[in-house]
Chains A and B, each alone.
Chain A
Amino acid sequence: MRAVFSGLLAGLIFGAGLALSGMIDPARVLGFLDIAGHWDPRLAFVLAGAVIVSFGGVRLARRRAAPLLAAQFQWPDAAARIDRRLLAGAALFGLGWGIAGFCPGPAIAAAGQGIGGAILFTLAMLVGMALYQRFES
């Protein structure tokens, strides 16, 4: 129950942040990625604001033996290396991001606004994830 409530609250804050920051608007995202056009620098401020606050959270978390509502922290594998999978995956993601201006969070938040293009993108993204699961396992 507490996991559901805290998950819902964290999701609401995340979604509100995506909307307030403008990250939810693919035209603005493409305006940031288009450095040769009429460049819109604002998404750099979104990322900076997010990383700074998140960094504070990581510092607090590292001092604790366990999170408040779960048995243990699930940190990503610290021994994992920078490998071909990581870079190939990031490159494929960048290709899709550069075409449409949507990454996963904003696509879902925009789909929740009932916008057809965002719903279509989100469904295709879920198919892409399911395809990965099928081929990799």
Chain B
Amino acid sequence: MIAYVLPALAGGALIGASAAMFLLLQGRIAGISGILGSLLRAGASPARRFGDAAFLLGLLGGPWLLVALGVAMPPIRIATPWPLLILAGLLVGYGTRLGSGCTSGHGVCGMARLAPRSFAAVATFMAVAIATTFVVRHVLGGL
């Protein structure tokens, strides 16, 4: 049981530590959709742009660093057909910008700030994601 949940807890703690660090050093919320959105938007200061781009570069490199340190990483298994991956990507991109955050911004950072908006957002996207998975797997019989 402990071996089963320990990587999940430890990995989560690392994510939380990253968010704490980004907040304490740069004063920013470590929300991935917010960082991506501000990079796509004109008008951010060059310093902020470089900091955001560096964060995303680190995000790409993080799994490689873990493997380089000799820590096992789970396989990445994608069973969704590509037209649905595109549809899902569009929905996630549009939805996280409209709703001002994703799993990191509302989930990890917003709930830690005890922000009512973030609790409402997390409850909504969790409920809709659970219902969607149910329909895809148990009503449509998988895709």
Contact = CB atoms under 8 A, between A and B. Distances in A.
Q: Majority SS of interface residues in chain B?
A: helix
Nearest to B92: A96
Interface residues of B, number: 111
Interface of B: 4-5, 7-30, 32-33, 36-37, 40-41, 47-48, 50-67, 71, 73-80, 82, 84-100, 102-104, 106-113, 115-117, 120-122, 124-134, 136-138, 143
What are the 9 A-B residue pairs with the smallest beta carbon separation, nearest first?
A: A15-B62, A11-B58, A89-B99, A57-B20, A128-B93, A21-B11, A49-B12, A124-B89, A98-B132
Contacts, number: 490
For this complex, into which size category does the number of interface residues on chain A fall? 35 or more
B55 A22 contact: no
Given A45-B5, A68-B25, A125 B58 contact: no
Nearest to A131: B94
Contacts of A69: 25-26
